[in-house]
A and B are shown apart, each in its own frame.
Chain A
Amino acid sequence: MKKYLQIFKLSFQQEFAYRLNFVMWRVRNILQIILTFFLWSSVFKNPETSVFGYNQEKILTYVFGILILRAIVFSARAVDVAGEISNGDITNFLLKPISYFKYWATRDTASKVLNLSFSVVEITILFVILRPHLFLQTNLLILFAVFVFLILAVILFFCLLFITNMSAFWMPENGWAAQFLFIAIITDFLSGGVFPLDILPYTFQKVLYSTPFPYLLFFPLQVYLGKIAGLEIIRGLVTSFAWVFILFMSVRFIWAKGLKRYSAEGR
């Protein structure tokens, strides 16, 4: 376990090695929050307006919630896996007594911790300045459920990301494209990152709920907002767990297949 702790520490140092990059990244985050805030505040100028069951308070909570959830679920270093496979850097790990998954899980965790701790500070400051009307969930049981869904979301996204990246074993040149299309566009869209999924047609929603995507952002947030409760939570939990299992097995299977194809190129 100590080896992964060391990797955790190094990841932090690595992030800070490019100080300007880091600062710019934070600035971008803050700008993003401010922009979304003003956008949605002006759309819902009248606090009484309600679209698809969202009033100003709920929609603002939704967008802020998405921002925070994205910071937790989607911030991942494992996007570099495809690159490591196609340029052969993965060789370094295959030669050592270390698990490649645990290595990336550690680096992802480091990235998330870093991202989250800065986000908390930034959001607190912005909260004080902007004083938005947000919905605060006080039910501890619901908060606990949200926490469980969040953990599941992180695992689900990690598996999806790894599967996408492992396509580089077969198509070393296409790693970036696959990633952009799948992660940046499809996943973000299907998980509710662009707009709330419950404004979609009902049948479409139903199909979507049997895929892993809504459980990345939308579902945990709905639970937080109190829009999903009781039996639906259980159903969501079962579906998430099933997907964690399926994706985890797929990762292992594809990894074993990919390694046999691997030709340690670039030397």
Chain B
Amino acid sequence: MDRAIVVDRLVKNFEVTEKEKGLRGSIKSIFSPKKKVVHALRGISFTIQPGELVGFIGPNGAGKTTTLKTLSGLLYPSSGFVQVLEYDPWEKKPEFLKQISLVMGQKNQLWWDLPAIETFELNREIYEIPRRDYEKNLEELVTLLDVGKLLKTQVRRLSLGQRMRMELVAALLHGPKVLFLDEPTIGLDLIGQQKIRDFIYEYNYKKNATIILTSHNMDDLTNLARRVIVIGAGRILFDGALEELTDRFAKEKIIKISLSKEIDIKEVEEIGTVKYVSFPEVTLSVPRSTVAVAAAEILQNFPVNDLTIEEVPVEEIIKKVFRGELNK
């Protein structure tokens, strides 16, 4: 098998009922509900190789979660073709379900009133994991995620971060080959985030697992994803290496200069947009096409000690992606 995931011209539409505000609106919608079709995915295509770790990014409502849900068999595609591990996810064959896992940062599968270990035991039965594999996986996951002492605590008494790590254990006990992670670090503190990130990295590396990750957390993406797929308004805007995102979308370059004498900053503003001033350092951004001319002009007209030309940091581009400012 050379492709773990194949998606071809996938379309997903939802029919939603709209309600006008207030009591009158509510009553009105009982008698004449206003139906509206939402085009969540407008024909997306991509393939993912086994062992790849891909980041899905895009503004809210772009279709990231819809894609993950379709890939894990929850949603029925309106049209198009979807294949995961050579199965049609919608059929929900047990052999398929035993090889995947979908972790959603805000959804839990743990039994709220019972200790987490009870859910784990249940999952062992549901996924028919042999006792020896189960013990081994549990030991490994519990150590990696550092939750050994909490196994017998009622889930309701765990903190959000502890619970999220338990959720990961529950989702991974059966050793899925394909993992869909939807905002796995949402709501966690920095240390909690780091723990989860390290873990995802390890899991991907050690098990050669295929992972798709959506996140609004910059560090998740820059630390984990080598390849990113940018989705906006139900379409794919970019698919490639994280670094290429800059080449593709950065319309500007960054010039950093170090001055030897104080100058009137207004004069520099004629050359490019000043981003940052703290004498002797000045940072400005200029259009890509004119960067050489701008640099020459600066060197000629100002007392410059040092000058470097840099790419816009990838974080800046990703921020733009989240704000929905990228277009094809």
The residues of A with any CB-CB pair to B shorter than 8 Å are 2-3, 5-7, 10, 13-14, 17-18, 88-89, 91-92, 94-98, 259-260, 262-264, 266-267
Question: Which chain A residue has the least Cβ–Cβ distance from B104?
Answer: A267
Q: Using a Cβ cutoff of 8 Å, how many contacts connect chains A and B?
A: 69
Count the B residues whose beta carbon is within 8 Å of the partner chain — how many? 31
Taking A95-B74, A97-B94, A97-B98 as contacts, is the C-beta distance between A264 and B69 under 8 angstroms?
yes
A-B contact sample (14 more), CB < 8 A, given A3-B122, A260-B76: A3-B125, A3-B126, A10-B118, A14-B114, A17-B113, A95-B72, A95-B100, A95-B101, A96-B123, A97-B98, A97-B128, A262-B76, A263-B75, A264-B75
Bound-state CA distance A113–B201 (Å) is 47
Question: Which chain A residue has the least Cβ–Cβ distance from B101?
Answer: A95
B284 nearest CB across to chain A (Å): 42
Taking A94-B92, A97-B98 as contacts, is the C-beta distance between A88 and B107 under 8 angstroms?
yes
Bound-state CA distance A264–B73 (Å) is 11
**B14 beta carbon closer than 8 Å to chain A:** yes
The residues of B with any CB-CB pair to A shorter than 8 Å are 14, 65, 69, 72-76, 92, 94, 97-98, 100-102, 104, 106-107, 109, 111, 113-114, 118, 121-123, 125-128, 182
Taking A3-B122, A96-B127, A263-B14 as contacts, is the C-beta distance between A13 and B114 under 8 angstroms?
yes
Q: In the assembled complex, which residues on chain A have CB atoms less than 8 Å from the CB atom of B127?
A: 96-97
Q: Do A94 and B118 touch (CB < 8 A)?
A: no
Q: Out of A91, A97, A264, A267, which one reaches B97, CB within 8 Å?
A: A97
Q: In the assembled complex, which residues on chain B have CB atoms less than 8 Å from the CB atom of A5?
A: 125
B80 nearest CB across to chain A (Å): 15
Q: Can you report 20 residue pairs joining A to B where beta carbons are below 8 Å apart?
A: A2-B125, A3-B122, A3-B128, A7-B122, A10-B111, A13-B113, A18-B113, A91-B102, A91-B104, A92-B109, A94-B73, A94-B74, A95-B72, A95-B73, A95-B74, A260-B76, A262-B76, A264-B75, A267-B65, A267-B182
Q: Do A91 and B107 touch (CB < 8 A)?
A: yes
Question: Which chain B residue has the least Cβ–Cβ distance from A2?
Answer: B125
A33 nearest CB across to chain B (Å): 29
Q: Do A262 and B65 touch (CB < 8 A)?
A: no
Bound-state CA distance A13–B122 (Å) is 13
Bound-state CA distance A96–B94 (Å) is 7
Q: In the assembled complex, which residues on chain B have CB atoms less than 8 Å from the CB atom of A260?
A: 76
Q: Do A262 and B74 touch (CB < 8 A)?
A: yes
Q: In the assembled complex, which residues on chain A have CB atoms less than 8 Å from the CB atom of B69?
A: 264
Bound-state CA distance A264–B92 (Å) is 15
Bound-state CA distance A2–B245 (Å) is 50
Bound-state CA distance A97–B123 (Å) is 10
Bound-state CA distance A216–B123 (Å) is 35
Q: In the assembled complex, which residues on chain A have CB atoms less than 8 Å from the CB atom of B14?
A: 263
Q: In the assembled complex, which residues on chain B have CB atoms less than 8 Å from the CB atom of A3?
A: 122, 125-126, 128
